[in-house]
Structure 1
Amino acid sequence: MSSFVHRPVRRRENTILDAYFVKSCVALFLFSLLVEPARSDPGVGGDTGDAVDPAALSLTFAEEFDTLEVSEWGPGTRWIAHTPWSGDFGGARFSAPMEGFPFTIEQGVLRIEASRDKADKWRSGLLASVDPKGNGFAQQYGYFEMRARLPTGPGVWPAFWLIGLDRSKATAEVDVLEYYGDKPGGYSSAAHVWHRDAPPDSKGKRINVFKDADPTAYHTYGVKIDPMFIRMYFDGRMVWKTETQPQHRQPMYVLLNLALVDEETRNMAADPSYMFVDHVRAYSID
Protein backbone atom coordinates (compact mmCIF):
# COMPACT_ATOMS: atom_id res chain seq x y z
CA MET A 1 0.00 0.00 0.00
CA SER A 2 1.31 3.42 -0.84
CA SER A 3 2.35 5.61 2.06
CA PHE A 4 0.38 8.63 0.77
CA VAL A 5 -2.94 6.82 1.34
CA HIS A 6 -2.74 7.71 4.98
CA ARG A 7 -1.86 11.33 4.44
CA PRO A 8 -4.84 13.70 4.28
CA VAL A 9 -2.94 16.27 2.25
CA ARG A 10 -2.28 13.76 -0.51
CA ARG A 11 -5.93 12.64 -0.48
CA ARG A 12 -7.00 16.26 -0.93
CA GLU A 13 -4.59 16.66 -3.82
CA ASN A 14 -5.97 13.48 -5.40
CA THR A 15 -9.50 14.76 -4.94
CA ILE A 16 -8.60 17.99 -6.69
CA LEU A 17 -6.86 16.11 -9.50
CA ASP A 18 -9.79 13.70 -9.88
CA ALA A 19 -12.24 16.58 -10.08
CA TYR A 20 -10.07 18.32 -12.65
CA PHE A 21 -9.84 15.11 -14.68
CA VAL A 22 -13.62 14.64 -14.66
CA LYS A 23 -14.23 18.24 -15.68
CA SER A 24 -11.68 17.90 -18.48
CA CYS A 25 -13.37 14.77 -19.79
CA VAL A 26 -16.77 16.44 -19.71
CA ALA A 27 -15.39 19.47 -21.53
CA LEU A 28 -13.78 17.29 -24.20
CA PHE A 29 -17.03 15.36 -24.66
CA LEU A 30 -19.07 18.54 -25.05
CA PHE A 31 -16.53 19.92 -27.49
CA SER A 32 -16.72 16.72 -29.55
CA LEU A 33 -20.48 17.16 -29.83
CA LEU A 34 -19.99 20.67 -31.13
CA VAL A 35 -17.47 19.71 -33.78
CA GLU A 36 -19.09 16.44 -34.91
CA PRO A 37 -21.26 18.03 -37.64
CA ALA A 38 -18.18 19.53 -39.26
CA ARG A 39 -16.44 16.14 -39.19
CA SER A 40 -19.38 14.46 -40.87
CA ASP A 41 -19.37 16.76 -43.92
CA PRO A 42 -16.59 14.92 -45.81
CA GLY A 43 -18.30 11.61 -45.18
CA VAL A 44 -17.02 10.45 -41.78
CA GLY A 45 -20.62 9.91 -40.62
CA GLY A 46 -24.04 10.20 -42.15
CA ASP A 47 -25.31 6.63 -42.56
CA THR A 48 -29.02 7.00 -43.34
CA GLY A 49 -29.91 3.31 -43.05
CA ASP A 50 -31.11 0.67 -45.49
CA ALA A 51 -34.76 1.69 -45.72
CA VAL A 52 -36.00 4.32 -48.15
CA ASP A 53 -39.36 6.10 -48.12
CA PRO A 54 -39.66 8.78 -50.80
CA ALA A 55 -42.78 10.17 -49.11
CA ALA A 56 -40.63 11.10 -46.10
CA LEU A 57 -37.95 12.83 -48.21
CA SER A 58 -37.78 16.27 -49.83
CA LEU A 59 -38.44 16.20 -53.58
CA THR A 60 -35.73 18.15 -55.43
CA PHE A 61 -36.25 17.06 -59.05
CA ALA A 62 -39.37 15.72 -60.73
CA GLU A 63 -39.62 14.82 -64.40
CA GLU A 64 -43.10 13.42 -64.97
CA PHE A 65 -42.85 13.57 -68.78
CA ASP A 66 -46.03 15.52 -69.34
CA THR A 67 -43.80 17.42 -71.77
CA LEU A 68 -40.12 17.06 -72.69
CA GLU A 69 -37.70 19.99 -72.62
CA VAL A 70 -34.65 18.74 -74.52
CA SER A 71 -32.07 20.09 -76.97
CA GLU A 72 -29.00 18.53 -78.50
CA TRP A 73 -26.44 20.39 -76.36
CA GLY A 74 -28.29 23.14 -74.46
CA PRO A 75 -28.09 25.60 -72.89
CA GLY A 76 -31.35 26.42 -71.24
CA THR A 77 -33.14 23.06 -71.51
CA ARG A 78 -33.76 20.56 -68.74
CA TRP A 79 -32.14 17.76 -70.75
CA ILE A 80 -29.54 17.40 -73.48
CA ALA A 81 -29.39 14.50 -75.92
CA HIS A 82 -25.74 13.45 -75.50
CA THR A 83 -23.33 12.80 -72.66
CA PRO A 84 -22.01 16.21 -71.54
CA TRP A 85 -18.41 15.18 -72.23
CA SER A 86 -19.22 14.13 -75.84
CA GLY A 87 -18.53 10.53 -74.97
CA ASP A 88 -21.40 8.76 -76.68
CA PHE A 89 -21.10 4.99 -76.79
CA GLY A 90 -22.60 1.72 -77.93
CA GLY A 91 -23.85 0.38 -81.22
CA ALA A 92 -26.42 3.09 -81.92
CA ARG A 93 -25.68 6.77 -82.38
CA PHE A 94 -27.55 8.99 -79.94
CA SER A 95 -29.60 11.32 -82.10
CA ALA A 96 -30.40 14.99 -81.86
CA PRO A 97 -34.07 15.32 -80.92
CA MET A 98 -36.44 15.77 -83.83
CA GLU A 99 -40.16 15.47 -84.33
CA GLY A 100 -41.17 11.95 -83.34
CA PHE A 101 -37.65 10.57 -82.84
CA PRO A 102 -35.99 9.33 -80.73
CA PHE A 103 -38.24 10.75 -77.99
CA THR A 104 -42.01 10.89 -77.92
CA ILE A 105 -44.39 11.78 -75.10
CA GLU A 106 -47.81 10.20 -74.69
CA GLN A 107 -50.06 10.34 -71.62
CA GLY A 108 -47.23 11.29 -69.29
CA VAL A 109 -44.82 8.62 -70.51
CA LEU A 110 -41.52 9.07 -72.37
CA ARG A 111 -40.82 6.60 -75.16
CA ILE A 112 -37.20 6.23 -76.30
CA GLU A 113 -36.86 4.50 -79.66
CA ALA A 114 -33.94 2.60 -81.16
CA SER A 115 -34.23 1.89 -84.89
CA ARG A 116 -32.32 1.87 -88.16
CA ASP A 117 -32.28 5.00 -90.28
CA LYS A 118 -32.47 5.23 -94.07
CA ALA A 119 -28.74 4.49 -94.28
CA ASP A 120 -29.29 1.29 -92.27
CA LYS A 121 -27.48 2.76 -89.25
CA TRP A 122 -28.82 2.26 -85.74
CA ARG A 123 -29.90 5.39 -83.89
CA SER A 124 -31.38 5.86 -80.45
CA GLY A 125 -31.73 8.33 -77.57
CA LEU A 126 -30.06 9.50 -74.37
CA LEU A 127 -31.00 12.20 -71.86
CA ALA A 128 -28.55 13.95 -69.51
CA SER A 129 -29.56 16.47 -66.84
CA VAL A 130 -26.57 18.83 -67.27
CA ASP A 131 -25.03 20.46 -70.33
CA PRO A 132 -21.31 20.48 -71.25
CA LYS A 133 -20.71 23.46 -68.94
CA GLY A 134 -22.28 21.71 -65.97
CA ASN A 135 -25.50 23.73 -66.03
CA GLY A 136 -28.58 21.80 -65.01
CA PHE A 137 -29.58 19.42 -62.25
CA ALA A 138 -26.99 17.69 -60.09
CA GLN A 139 -27.18 16.78 -56.42
CA GLN A 140 -24.79 15.60 -53.72
CA TYR A 141 -26.30 12.65 -51.85
CA GLY A 142 -29.97 11.75 -51.92
CA TYR A 143 -32.30 9.22 -53.48
CA PHE A 144 -32.63 9.02 -57.28
CA GLU A 145 -35.35 6.96 -58.96
CA MET A 146 -36.62 5.98 -62.39
CA ARG A 147 -39.87 4.15 -63.10
CA ALA A 148 -39.65 2.37 -66.41
CA ARG A 149 -40.52 -0.51 -68.71
CA LEU A 150 -37.59 -2.16 -70.47
CA PRO A 151 -37.23 -3.76 -73.90
CA THR A 152 -36.04 -7.33 -74.11
CA GLY A 153 -34.11 -9.41 -76.60
CA PRO A 154 -30.51 -9.50 -77.82
CA GLY A 155 -28.76 -6.21 -78.48
CA VAL A 156 -30.78 -3.79 -76.33
CA TRP A 157 -28.96 -2.03 -73.47
CA PRO A 158 -31.16 0.38 -71.47
CA ALA A 159 -29.61 2.19 -68.52
CA PHE A 160 -30.21 4.63 -65.66
CA TRP A 161 -27.03 6.09 -64.19
CA LEU A 162 -25.29 9.01 -62.48
CA ILE A 163 -22.00 10.81 -63.12
CA GLY A 164 -20.11 13.18 -60.80
CA LEU A 165 -19.71 16.79 -61.92
CA ASP A 166 -15.98 16.95 -61.12
CA ARG A 167 -14.08 14.84 -63.64
CA SER A 168 -10.73 16.62 -63.26
CA LYS A 169 -8.93 13.68 -61.59
CA ALA A 170 -11.38 10.81 -61.91
CA THR A 171 -14.89 10.08 -63.13
CA ALA A 172 -17.33 8.89 -60.48
CA GLU A 173 -20.10 6.74 -61.95
CA VAL A 174 -23.08 5.00 -60.37
CA ASP A 175 -24.95 2.53 -62.56
CA VAL A 176 -28.37 2.08 -61.03
CA LEU A 177 -29.57 -0.08 -63.91
CA GLU A 178 -27.75 -1.68 -66.83
CA TYR A 179 -29.92 -4.23 -68.57
CA TYR A 180 -28.64 -6.50 -71.32
CA GLY A 181 -31.57 -7.90 -73.24
CA ASP A 182 -29.82 -11.18 -74.03
CA LYS A 183 -29.49 -11.84 -70.27
CA PRO A 184 -33.12 -11.45 -69.25
CA GLY A 185 -32.92 -12.86 -65.72
CA GLY A 186 -31.70 -9.65 -64.13
CA TYR A 187 -29.75 -6.42 -64.48
CA SER A 188 -26.46 -5.02 -63.22
CA SER A 189 -25.77 -2.29 -60.67
CA ALA A 190 -22.31 -0.87 -60.06
CA ALA A 191 -20.22 1.94 -58.59
CA HIS A 192 -17.11 2.93 -60.55
CA VAL A 193 -14.24 5.34 -60.11
CA TRP A 194 -12.46 5.80 -63.42
CA HIS A 195 -9.04 7.23 -62.53
CA ARG A 196 -7.06 9.16 -65.10
CA ASP A 197 -3.70 7.68 -64.13
CA ALA A 198 -4.56 4.43 -62.38
CA PRO A 199 -6.71 1.33 -62.85
CA PRO A 200 -10.41 1.81 -62.11
CA ASP A 201 -12.05 0.98 -58.80
CA SER A 202 -15.25 -0.90 -59.57
CA LYS A 203 -17.78 -2.77 -57.48
CA GLY A 204 -20.97 -4.26 -58.77
CA LYS A 205 -23.63 -6.91 -58.46
CA ARG A 206 -25.99 -8.83 -60.68
CA ILE A 207 -29.56 -8.16 -59.49
CA ASN A 208 -31.48 -11.31 -60.40
CA VAL A 209 -35.04 -10.07 -59.97
CA PHE A 210 -36.51 -10.91 -63.36
CA LYS A 211 -36.91 -14.57 -62.58
CA ASP A 212 -40.06 -13.50 -60.76
CA ALA A 213 -40.69 -9.99 -62.12
CA ASP A 214 -41.36 -8.95 -65.72
CA PRO A 215 -38.86 -6.38 -67.08
CA THR A 216 -41.42 -5.20 -69.64
CA ALA A 217 -43.75 -4.15 -66.80
CA TYR A 218 -43.25 -0.93 -64.85
CA HIS A 219 -40.77 -1.10 -61.98
CA THR A 220 -38.83 1.48 -59.99
CA TYR A 221 -35.04 1.45 -60.06
CA GLY A 222 -33.45 3.59 -57.36
CA VAL A 223 -30.22 4.50 -55.61
CA LYS A 224 -29.64 6.22 -52.29
CA ILE A 225 -26.25 7.83 -51.79
CA ASP A 226 -25.08 9.06 -48.41
CA PRO A 227 -21.57 9.67 -47.04
CA MET A 228 -21.22 6.05 -45.94
CA PHE A 229 -23.04 3.84 -48.46
CA ILE A 230 -24.47 3.60 -51.95
CA ARG A 231 -27.65 1.52 -51.81
CA MET A 232 -29.61 0.12 -54.77
CA TYR A 233 -33.37 -0.47 -54.75
CA PHE A 234 -35.80 -2.41 -56.92
CA ASP A 235 -39.45 -1.51 -56.37
CA GLY A 236 -38.46 0.12 -53.07
CA ARG A 237 -36.60 -2.93 -51.77
CA MET A 238 -32.86 -2.71 -51.18
CA VAL A 239 -31.05 -5.23 -53.37
CA TRP A 240 -27.39 -4.23 -52.88
CA LYS A 241 -25.15 -1.78 -51.08
CA THR A 242 -21.50 -0.82 -51.19
CA GLU A 243 -19.34 1.72 -49.38
CA THR A 244 -19.31 5.26 -50.75
CA GLN A 245 -15.92 6.17 -52.18
CA PRO A 246 -14.57 9.73 -51.72
CA GLN A 247 -15.09 10.46 -55.42
CA HIS A 248 -18.82 9.78 -55.06
CA ARG A 249 -19.19 12.42 -52.32
CA GLN A 250 -19.98 15.16 -54.82
CA PRO A 251 -22.94 16.39 -56.90
CA MET A 252 -24.08 13.72 -59.36
CA TYR A 253 -26.21 14.26 -62.46
CA VAL A 254 -28.70 11.94 -64.12
CA LEU A 255 -28.53 10.03 -67.39
CA LEU A 256 -30.97 7.59 -68.95
CA ASN A 257 -30.75 5.97 -72.33
CA LEU A 258 -31.64 3.13 -74.64
CA ALA A 259 -28.33 2.01 -76.11
CA LEU A 260 -27.42 -1.01 -78.20
CA VAL A 261 -24.41 -3.18 -77.49
CA ASP A 262 -21.53 -2.52 -79.88
CA GLU A 263 -21.37 -6.11 -81.07
CA GLU A 264 -22.93 -8.33 -83.71
CA THR A 265 -25.82 -9.02 -81.31
CA ARG A 266 -27.13 -5.53 -82.03
CA ASN A 267 -28.17 -6.81 -85.44
CA MET A 268 -30.53 -9.19 -83.65
CA ALA A 269 -32.29 -6.35 -81.82
CA ALA A 270 -35.91 -5.74 -82.66
CA ASP A 271 -36.30 -2.83 -85.07
CA PRO A 272 -37.72 -0.70 -83.59
CA SER A 273 -37.08 -1.29 -79.87
CA TYR A 274 -38.62 0.89 -77.17
CA MET A 275 -37.93 1.91 -73.58
CA PHE A 276 -40.79 3.56 -71.67
CA VAL A 277 -40.13 5.91 -68.72
CA ASP A 278 -42.92 7.08 -66.44
CA HIS A 279 -40.84 9.37 -64.21
CA VAL A 280 -37.40 10.37 -63.01
CA ARG A 281 -37.22 11.87 -59.52
CA ALA A 282 -34.62 12.91 -56.98
CA TYR A 283 -34.93 13.58 -53.27
CA SER A 284 -32.65 15.07 -50.64
CA ILE A 285 -32.00 13.04 -47.50
CA ASP A 286 -30.91 15.75 -45.06
Structure 2
Amino acid sequence: MDFFFKVSRTMYFCAAVFSASAVFHSTSPCQAEVIDPDSFALKLDENFDWLDVSARGPGTRWTAHTPWNGDFGDAQFTDPVPDFPFTVKNGVLRIEARKSADGKWKSGLLASTDANGDGFKQRYGYFEMRARFPAGEGVWPAFWLASRGVEKAIEVDVVEHYGHAPSQYTASLHIWDRKTPALSKSFHQSVPVVAGALSADFHTYGVAVQEDRIKYFLDRKEVWSIETPRELEHPFTILIDLGLGAGWPIDKTPNPSVMDVDYVRVWSLPPD
Protein backbone atom coordinates (compact mmCIF):
# COMPACT_ATOMS: atom_id res chain seq x y z
CA MET A 1 0.00 0.00 0.00
CA ASP A 2 1.33 3.44 -0.95
CA PHE A 3 0.62 5.33 2.24
CA PHE A 4 2.06 8.73 1.47
CA PHE A 5 0.56 9.79 -1.84
CA LYS A 6 -2.12 12.45 -2.23
CA VAL A 7 -3.14 11.41 -5.73
CA SER A 8 -3.69 7.95 -7.16
CA ARG A 9 -1.61 6.48 -9.96
CA THR A 10 -2.87 7.03 -13.49
CA MET A 11 0.22 5.90 -15.42
CA TYR A 12 3.53 4.19 -14.59
CA PHE A 13 5.45 7.26 -15.75
CA CYS A 14 3.62 10.56 -15.87
CA ALA A 15 4.74 14.18 -16.18
CA ALA A 16 2.71 17.09 -14.87
CA VAL A 17 0.66 19.23 -17.21
CA PHE A 18 2.73 22.17 -18.43
CA SER A 19 2.05 25.65 -17.14
CA ALA A 20 4.05 28.86 -17.32
CA SER A 21 5.68 28.12 -13.96
CA ALA A 22 6.04 24.35 -14.30
CA VAL A 23 9.42 22.68 -14.59
CA PHE A 24 8.09 19.51 -16.20
CA HIS A 25 8.10 19.18 -19.95
CA SER A 26 4.57 18.56 -21.22
CA THR A 27 4.35 14.93 -22.32
CA SER A 28 0.81 13.88 -21.37
CA PRO A 29 -2.37 15.36 -19.80
CA CYS A 30 -2.14 13.33 -16.61
CA GLN A 31 -1.41 13.81 -12.92
CA ALA A 32 1.74 12.71 -11.21
CA GLU A 33 1.71 11.22 -7.74
CA VAL A 34 2.72 13.68 -5.03
CA ILE A 35 4.59 13.02 -1.82
CA ASP A 36 4.11 15.10 1.33
CA PRO A 37 6.78 14.25 3.92
CA ASP A 38 5.67 16.80 6.52
CA SER A 39 3.95 14.10 8.57
CA PHE A 40 7.00 11.78 8.50
CA ALA A 41 9.65 11.58 11.19
CA LEU A 42 12.54 13.90 10.29
CA LYS A 43 15.91 12.16 10.76
CA LEU A 44 18.34 14.58 9.09
CA ASP A 45 17.75 18.31 8.73
CA GLU A 46 20.71 20.01 7.08
CA ASN A 47 19.80 23.63 6.42
CA PHE A 48 23.36 24.84 5.74
CA ASP A 49 23.22 27.70 8.20
CA TRP A 50 26.83 26.63 8.63
CA LEU A 51 28.87 23.75 7.23
CA ASP A 52 30.41 21.04 9.42
CA VAL A 53 32.94 19.45 7.03
CA SER A 54 36.45 18.04 7.09
CA ALA A 55 38.59 16.33 4.47
CA ARG A 56 37.96 12.78 5.73
CA GLY A 57 36.65 13.04 9.28
CA PRO A 58 36.21 11.80 11.88
CA GLY A 59 33.68 13.73 13.88
CA THR A 60 32.18 16.04 11.26
CA ARG A 61 28.74 15.78 9.68
CA TRP A 62 30.23 15.80 6.16
CA THR A 63 33.49 14.68 4.62
CA ALA A 64 34.88 16.01 1.34
CA HIS A 65 35.64 12.65 -0.27
CA THR A 66 33.75 9.43 -0.88
CA PRO A 67 34.08 6.98 2.03
CA TRP A 68 35.85 4.53 -0.30
CA ASN A 69 38.25 7.27 -1.50
CA GLY A 70 37.12 7.09 -5.10
CA ASP A 71 37.38 10.05 -7.47
CA PHE A 72 35.50 10.39 -10.75
CA GLY A 73 34.90 12.90 -13.50
CA ASP A 74 37.24 15.58 -14.78
CA ALA A 75 37.41 17.76 -11.68
CA GLN A 76 39.40 16.77 -8.61
CA PHE A 77 37.34 16.74 -5.42
CA THR A 78 39.46 18.75 -3.04
CA ASP A 79 39.97 19.11 0.69
CA PRO A 80 38.02 22.10 2.00
CA VAL A 81 39.95 25.32 2.52
CA PRO A 82 38.59 28.77 3.37
CA ASP A 83 36.17 29.88 0.63
CA PHE A 84 36.73 26.82 -1.58
CA PRO A 85 35.17 24.60 -2.77
CA PHE A 86 32.41 25.20 -0.21
CA THR A 87 30.96 28.44 1.09
CA VAL A 88 27.75 29.09 3.01
CA LYS A 89 25.69 32.27 2.88
CA ASN A 90 22.11 32.94 4.01
CA GLY A 91 21.44 29.25 4.53
CA VAL A 92 22.60 28.18 1.08
CA LEU A 93 25.61 25.97 0.39
CA ARG A 94 27.69 26.96 -2.63
CA ILE A 95 29.78 24.22 -4.27
CA GLU A 96 32.21 25.72 -6.76
CA ALA A 97 34.09 24.13 -9.64
CA ARG A 98 37.07 26.25 -10.68
CA LYS A 99 40.00 25.89 -13.07
CA SER A 100 43.30 26.55 -11.33
CA ALA A 101 46.31 28.33 -12.76
CA ASP A 102 47.75 25.05 -14.04
CA GLY A 103 44.60 24.46 -16.11
CA LYS A 104 43.25 21.67 -13.91
CA TRP A 105 39.70 21.71 -12.60
CA LYS A 106 38.89 21.34 -8.91
CA SER A 107 35.48 21.00 -7.29
CA GLY A 108 33.63 19.70 -4.26
CA LEU A 109 31.85 16.61 -2.96
CA LEU A 110 30.11 15.98 0.35
CA ALA A 111 29.53 12.54 1.88
CA SER A 112 27.55 11.88 5.05
CA THR A 113 29.85 9.10 6.34
CA ASP A 114 33.61 8.70 6.60
CA ALA A 115 35.86 5.78 5.68
CA ASN A 116 35.02 4.04 8.97
CA GLY A 117 31.30 4.21 8.22
CA ASP A 118 30.70 6.81 10.93
CA GLY A 119 28.17 9.53 10.24
CA PHE A 120 24.60 9.68 8.98
CA LYS A 121 23.27 6.68 7.08
CA GLN A 122 19.80 5.22 6.58
CA ARG A 123 18.49 2.25 4.64
CA TYR A 124 14.81 3.10 4.01
CA GLY A 125 13.11 6.47 3.98
CA TYR A 126 12.54 9.60 1.94
CA PHE A 127 15.70 11.51 0.95
CA GLU A 128 15.43 15.02 -0.52
CA MET A 129 17.68 17.85 -1.69
CA ARG A 130 16.63 21.35 -2.78
CA ALA A 131 19.14 22.81 -5.19
CA ARG A 132 19.88 24.99 -8.20
CA PHE A 133 22.27 23.62 -10.78
CA PRO A 134 24.87 25.45 -12.87
CA ALA A 135 24.26 25.93 -16.57
CA GLY A 136 26.77 25.12 -19.28
CA GLU A 137 28.33 22.25 -21.17
CA GLY A 138 30.38 19.85 -19.11
CA VAL A 139 28.78 20.43 -15.70
CA TRP A 140 27.59 17.29 -13.92
CA PRO A 141 25.87 17.99 -10.57
CA ALA A 142 24.44 15.04 -8.68
CA PHE A 143 22.58 13.92 -5.54
CA TRP A 144 22.92 10.22 -4.84
CA LEU A 145 22.91 7.43 -2.28
CA ALA A 146 25.43 4.62 -1.88
CA SER A 147 25.07 1.33 0.03
CA ARG A 148 28.19 -0.84 0.01
CA GLY A 149 28.44 -4.44 1.11
CA VAL A 150 31.31 -6.87 0.72
CA GLU A 151 29.97 -8.38 -2.51
CA LYS A 152 27.33 -5.90 -3.75
CA ALA A 153 26.97 -2.13 -3.80
CA ILE A 154 23.72 -0.31 -4.50
CA GLU A 155 23.76 3.19 -5.96
CA VAL A 156 20.63 5.32 -6.24
CA ASP A 157 21.16 8.40 -8.38
CA VAL A 158 18.32 10.69 -7.40
CA VAL A 159 19.46 13.21 -9.99
CA GLU A 160 22.37 13.53 -12.40
CA HIS A 161 22.21 16.58 -14.66
CA TYR A 162 24.45 16.83 -17.71
CA GLY A 163 24.95 20.44 -18.74
CA HIS A 164 24.96 19.74 -22.46
CA ALA A 165 21.33 18.52 -22.14
CA PRO A 166 19.44 21.33 -20.33
CA SER A 167 16.00 19.85 -21.09
CA GLN A 168 16.41 16.65 -19.06
CA TYR A 169 18.13 14.90 -16.19
CA THR A 170 18.77 11.24 -15.35
CA ALA A 171 17.55 9.13 -12.44
CA SER A 172 19.28 5.77 -12.04
CA LEU A 173 19.66 2.58 -10.06
CA HIS A 174 22.92 0.63 -10.15
CA ILE A 175 23.63 -2.79 -8.67
CA TRP A 176 27.40 -3.09 -8.64
CA ASP A 177 28.89 -6.56 -8.33
CA ARG A 178 32.19 -5.91 -6.57
CA LYS A 179 33.58 -9.41 -7.14
CA THR A 180 32.44 -9.91 -10.75
CA PRO A 181 31.92 -6.47 -12.34
CA ALA A 182 30.51 -8.01 -15.52
CA LEU A 183 27.44 -9.06 -13.52
CA SER A 184 26.61 -5.47 -12.53
CA LYS A 185 23.26 -4.04 -13.63
CA SER A 186 22.11 -0.48 -14.29
CA PHE A 187 18.69 1.05 -14.91
CA HIS A 188 18.09 4.64 -16.07
CA GLN A 189 15.18 7.01 -16.56
CA SER A 190 15.51 10.25 -18.51
CA VAL A 191 13.28 12.90 -16.94
CA PRO A 192 12.22 15.66 -19.38
CA VAL A 193 12.05 19.23 -18.08
CA VAL A 194 11.64 22.69 -19.55
CA ALA A 195 15.01 23.65 -21.03
CA GLY A 196 17.11 25.58 -18.53
CA ALA A 197 14.62 25.26 -15.67
CA LEU A 198 17.01 23.38 -13.37
CA SER A 199 19.59 26.18 -13.48
CA ALA A 200 17.07 29.02 -13.47
CA ASP A 201 15.63 28.25 -10.03
CA PHE A 202 15.71 25.88 -7.07
CA HIS A 203 13.91 22.53 -7.28
CA THR A 204 13.56 19.54 -4.99
CA TYR A 205 14.91 16.11 -5.95
CA GLY A 206 13.73 13.22 -3.82
CA VAL A 207 13.62 9.46 -3.56
CA ALA A 208 11.49 7.22 -1.37
CA VAL A 209 13.23 3.91 -0.68
CA GLN A 210 10.87 1.20 0.54
CA GLU A 211 11.36 -2.53 0.99
CA ASP A 212 9.53 -3.29 -2.25
CA ARG A 213 9.98 -0.20 -4.41
CA ILE A 214 12.11 2.89 -5.02
CA LYS A 215 10.24 6.00 -6.19
CA TYR A 216 11.90 9.10 -7.61
CA PHE A 217 10.48 12.64 -7.36
CA LEU A 218 10.96 16.06 -8.90
CA ASP A 219 9.34 18.89 -6.92
CA ARG A 220 7.65 16.09 -4.93
CA LYS A 221 5.92 14.66 -8.03
CA GLU A 222 6.83 11.11 -8.92
CA VAL A 223 8.78 10.73 -12.16
CA TRP A 224 9.94 7.11 -11.97
CA SER A 225 9.54 3.90 -10.00
CA ILE A 226 11.52 0.67 -9.91
CA GLU A 227 11.59 -2.48 -7.80
CA THR A 228 13.93 -2.34 -4.81
CA PRO A 229 16.82 -4.74 -5.46
CA ARG A 230 17.02 -7.69 -3.12
CA GLU A 231 20.74 -6.94 -2.78
CA LEU A 232 19.98 -3.84 -0.68
CA GLU A 233 21.17 -4.99 2.75
CA HIS A 234 23.01 -1.95 4.15
CA PRO A 235 22.11 1.67 4.90
CA PHE A 236 22.80 4.46 2.45
CA THR A 237 25.41 7.18 2.63
CA ILE A 238 24.28 10.51 1.14
CA LEU A 239 26.48 12.18 -1.46
CA ILE A 240 26.25 15.57 -3.15
CA ASP A 241 28.76 16.76 -5.70
CA LEU A 242 29.48 19.07 -8.59
CA GLY A 243 31.31 16.85 -11.03
CA LEU A 244 32.51 17.70 -14.52
CA GLY A 245 32.67 15.71 -17.71
CA ALA A 246 31.08 12.27 -17.31
CA GLY A 247 32.53 11.51 -20.73
CA TRP A 248 31.36 14.81 -22.22
CA PRO A 249 33.70 17.65 -23.27
CA ILE A 250 34.58 20.33 -20.72
CA ASP A 251 36.34 22.77 -23.05
CA LYS A 252 33.29 25.09 -22.94
CA THR A 253 32.47 24.65 -19.25
CA PRO A 254 31.99 28.04 -17.53
CA ASN A 255 34.80 28.91 -15.12
CA PRO A 256 33.74 29.00 -12.35
CA SER A 257 30.57 26.90 -12.22
CA VAL A 258 28.46 26.85 -9.07
CA MET A 259 25.88 24.48 -7.58
CA ASP A 260 23.66 25.97 -4.85
CA VAL A 261 22.09 23.66 -2.24
CA ASP A 262 19.36 25.00 0.04
CA TYR A 263 18.92 21.89 2.20
CA VAL A 264 19.23 18.13 2.49
CA ARG A 265 16.62 16.29 4.54
CA VAL A 266 15.83 12.68 5.31
CA TRP A 267 12.67 11.24 6.82
CA SER A 268 11.71 7.78 7.94
CA LEU A 269 8.60 6.32 6.37
CA PRO A 270 5.68 5.10 8.49
CA PRO A 271 4.76 1.41 8.21
CA ASP A 272 2.17 0.36 5.61
Question: Is the structural similarity TM-score above 0.5?
Answer: yes
CA drift at 1:248 = 2.7
Gaps in structure 2 of 5+ consecutive residues:
6-33
* 2:194 match: 210
2:169 to 181, 187, 201: 187
Partners of 1:202 and 1:49 in 2: CA distance: 27
1:53 aligned partner: 36
For residue 170 of structure 1, report the CA deviation from its aligned partner. 1.2
1:107 maps to what in 2? 90
Distance 1:264 1:162 in 2: 23
Provide the residue aligned with 2:123 in structure 1. 140
Q: Which residue of 2 aligns with 1:83?
A: 66
Shift of the alpha carbon at 1:244?
0.3
From 66, 74, 85, the counterpart of 2:49: 66
How far is 1:190 from its partner? Answer: 0.6
Matched-pair contact (CA < 8 Å) for 1:79–1:129: yes
* Partner AA of 1:208 in structure 2: P
SS in 1 for 2:249: helix
Q: Matched residues in 1 for 2:203 and 2:55: separation? A: 28
- Residue 171 of structure 1 and its aligned partner are, at CA, apart by 1.0
Equivalent positions of 1:108-123 (< 5 A) are 108-123=91-106
Deviation at 1:262, TM superposition (A): 5.0
Cα distance 1:259–1:167, how it changes in 2: closer, same or farther (>3 A)?
A: same
Tell me if structure 2 keeps the 8 A contact 1:71–1:80. Answer: yes
Q: CA deviation at 1:246?
A: 1.4
Alpha-carbon deviation of 1:200? 1.3
Are 1:94 and 2:66 an aligned pair?
no
Pick the aligned partner of 2:221 from 237, 243, 249: 237
Q: Contact 1:82 / 1:128 at 8 angstroms: preserved in 2?
A: yes
Deviations 1:71-99, CA, capped at 9 Å, x for gaps: 00000000000111011100000010000
* Distance in 1, Cα, partners of 2:135 & 2:44: 29
Which residue matches 1:34? none
User: How far off is 1:49 after superposition?
Assistant: 5.8
CA distance in 2 between partners of 1:152 and 1:213 (Å): 10
Find the residue that maps to 1:215 and give its secondary structure.
Answer: helix
Letter in 1 for 2:222: M
- State how many pairs are aligned: 240
The alignment yields a C-alpha RMSD, in angstroms, of 1.6
**Is 1:282 the counterpart of 2:252 in the alignment?**
no
| CA shift for structure 1 position 209 | 1.8
By how many angstroms is 1:264 displaced?
6.4
CA contact (8 A) 2:135 2:196 kept: no
- Equivalent position amino acid for 2:70 in 1: G
Separation of aligned partners in 2, 1:78 and 1:214: 27
Structure 1: runs of 5+ lacking an equivalent: 1-45
Q: CA deviation at 1:247?
A: 2.2
Cα deviation for residue 174 of structure 1 reads 0.1
- The structural deviation recorded for 1:114 is 0.3
User: Which residue, 135, 144, 158 being the options, matches 1:152?
Assistant: 135
Q: Aligned equivalents of 2:233 and 2:208: distance in 1? A: 12
User: Structure 1 residues 52 and 259 mapped into 2: Cα distance closer, same or farther (>3 Å)?
Assistant: same
1:171 aligned to 141, 153, 167, which one?
153
Bigger helix fraction: 1
- Who is 1:265 aligned against? 249
Q: Verify the 8 A CA contact 1:141 1:249 in the aligned structure 2.
A: no
Residue 237 (structure 1) shift: 0.4
